[in-house]
Amino acid sequence: MLNLKKSAAAFAEAKTLMPGGVNSPVRSYANVGCNPPFIARAQGDKIYDIDGNEYIDYVGSWGPMVVGHAHPNVVRALQEAAARGTSYGAPTCVESDLAKLVMKVYPSIEVIRMVNSGTEATMSALRLARGYTGREKIVKFVGCYHGHSDSLLVHAGSGMATFGVPSSPGVTRGTAQDTISVPYNDVDAITKIMEEMGDEIAAVIVEPVAGNMGCVPPRQGYLRTLRRLTEQHGTLLIFDEVMCGFRASLGGAQAAYGITPDLTCLGKIIGGGLPVAAYGGRRDIMMKVSPAGPVYQAGTLSGNPLAMTAGLETLKIITAEPEPGEADYSRMLTLKTKKLLLGWQEKARKAGVAIQAHQAGSMFGIFFNEHEVWDYEDSCASDQEAFKVWFLSMLEQGIYLAPSQFETLFMSGAHSEEDIERTIDAAGNAFEQVAKS
Ligand code: PMP
């Protein structure tokens, strides 16, 4: 049995201090019925709790840690930056360095604005879309999560899905009324809405690879349909690549599927584990943002020098030219992920457990479901009890996964071949537990 005694005591105290003992809901492990390990440190692909347990980590802080934890280049650059002062609230060169590197891999981003969280990025992109088009309504997809700003907390996935809250108290009816939600991956649904009211819709916002109803890639041609319909109605297409950016491929889903959005939201990896996100896109739209234009948006810590430094060092690693004969970083991650998932599928088959596996580059996940999973409804129809048994068995065996089937898992450059073999073997045992349950 895993010893989580110190974590249990720490969690008991935390529960007296913070709602549910945490600063973000899914961390509480409420839906898997065990105490969350309290983390002491992390290095490479390993994470260590305060009871001294070591785990192979596939959460990676929910995505950002693509080069592994405490990468020496990132740590060194951060130490040097910290010694020069942690915040100035004034322009710095490192902001432009990070902007240029992001734009190199995201050519659709002609102008960019750095913010502190994915929530801020999507909220600001929507305000901009409304300001630019003079329209009020937006369309989002059921089970897509875009952070917790009011207009996006309607039919959101992830923590919201995990806790079965369709939308949150505190979001006014007026706000919710301007948000239209339609099923993801359903061409007829979005076509109908756009035909009926496309000319009133400022923006369609989508996770081009959904990651908050579990990992669910777009069906073939789906993103192209969104592009065509939005163009026809003068509606902006916003790709929320906070999660799939730098993961679906280096250039995100837009490069992987060859679709150019009007605006893109990025987060997670672009901060290398510090709080950074960004929104950007077409110059004529972005020039409406203050102080170039009238749409207001600001931030005391936006472009923070430590955060920019962590992002820049991380992006330098993943965009580096590969050694001759070697795969580039993104391809290397994709191949490792494929190997892990093939191993899991093989083990599941042997144990007689039906799963659906999805991968988009270095994002991946499985559903305990005998049917294909293409939208939120399919995802909800997966066996949550089987997931729980599987999750707890993996944790016991030192494999740290997201504690919900509605979350996505992430590969990093620090995961070794040996780790992957170990994770496949552990999954075999876990599937056998599921078969017995
Ligand atoms: N968009 C997507 C696609 C996300 O996955 C998330 C968070 N997981 C967000 C936005 C919100 O980002 P943050 O938690 O940094 O506010």
Report the CATH number that the domain containing residue 341 is assigned in CATH: 3.90.1150.10
Task: Tell me the pLDDT band of 156, cut-offs 50, 70 and 90.
Answer: low
d(CA 373, CA 189): 17
**pLDDT tens-place string over residues 307-337:** 999 999 999 999 999 989 889 999 999 999 9
d(CA 40, CA 10): 12
Contact by Cβ (8 Å): 281, 109: yes
Same domain (yes/no): 37, 58: yes
If you average pLDDT over every residue of the chain, what do you get?
95
d(CA 269, CA 246): 7
Summarize the confidence of residues 407-425 as an average pLDDT: 98
What sign does the dihedral 154-156-160-162 (CA atoms) show?
A: positive
Which of 24, 145, 207 is the pocket-test mutation for ligand 1 (most atoms within 8 Å of CB)? 145
Same domain (yes/no): 132, 182: yes
**Boundary of a domain, candidates 319, 340, 357:** 319
Residue 216 pLDDT greater than 50, yes or no: yes
d(CA 127, CA 222): 25
Which ligand 1 atom sits nearest the alpha carbon of residue 24? 14
Among 268, 336, 347, 388, the one annotated catalytic: 268
Number of structural domains found in the chain = 2
* One-character DSSP codes across 86-145: S--SS--HHHHHHHHHHHHH-TT-SEEEEESSHHHHHHHHHHHHHHHH---EEEEETT--
**pLDDT tens-place string over residues 157-189:** 555 544 444 468 888 878 888 999 899 999 999
Nearest CA to ligand 1 atom 13: 118
Same domain (yes/no): 122, 149: yes
pTM (predicted TM-score): 0.97
Widest Cα–Cα separation across the chain: 62
What sign does the dihedral 215-271-56-423 (CA atoms) show?
A: positive
**Boundary of a domain, candidates 296, 319, 342:** 319
Same domain (yes/no): 226, 303: yes
Q: What share of the chain has pLDDT > 90, as a percent?
A: 91
Same domain (yes/no): 267, 357: no
Residue-level pLDDT at 414: 98
Same domain (yes/no): 226, 168: yes
Residue-level pLDDT at 165: 44
Quick check: CB of 62 below 6 Å from ligand 1? yes
**pLDDT tens-place string over residues 390-407:** 999 999 999 999 999 999
Quick check: CB of 240 below 6 Å from ligand 1? yes
Read off the CATH number of the domain in which 107 is found. 3.40.640.10
For 237, the enclosing helix (H) or strand (E) is: strand 236-240
Q: How far is ligand 1, taken at its centre, from the CA of residue 421, in Å?
A: 30
Radius of gyration of the chain (CA): 21
Residue-level pLDDT at 158: 54
Residue 71 pLDDT greater than 90, yes or no: yes
Same domain (yes/no): 146, 134: yes
Quick check: CB of 276 below 6 Å from ligand 1? no
Same domain (yes/no): 140, 122: yes
Give the burial string for 172-190 (b: 16+ CB within 10 Å, else e). Answer: eeebbebbbbbbbbbeebb
Quick check: CB of 119 below 6 Å from ligand 1? yes
Which ligand 1 atom sits nearest the alpha carbon of residue 158? 8
Residue-level pLDDT at 364: 98
Same domain (yes/no): 147, 262: yes
Q: How far is ligand 1, taken at its centre, from the CA of residue 191, in Å?
A: 26
100 is catalytic: no
419 is catalytic: no
Same domain (yes/no): 350, 239: no
Contact by Cβ (8 Å): 434, 390: yes
Residue-level pLDDT at 161: 47
Domain limits at 47?
A: 5-70+327-436
Q: Taking the C-alpha atoms of 372, 185, 102 and 300 in order, what is their torsion angle to the nearest 10 degrees?
A: -110
Quick check: CB of 309 below 6 Å from ligand 1? no
Which ligand 1 atom sits nearest the alpha carbon of residue 118? 12
Higher pLDDT, 33 or 314: 314
**Boundary of a domain, candidates 290, 319, 348:** 319
Same domain (yes/no): 162, 81: yes
Quick check: CB of 147 below 6 Å from ligand 1? yes
Residue-level pLDDT at 25: 92
**pLDDT tens-place string over residues 347-396:** 999 999 999 999 999 999 999 999 999 999 999 999 999 999 999 999 99
Residue 17: CB partners within 8 Å, gap ≥ 6? none
Residue 84 pLDDT greater than 70, yes or no: yes
Residue 52 pLDDT greater than 50, yes or no: yes
Residue-level pLDDT at 20: 96
Same domain (yes/no): 142, 273: yes
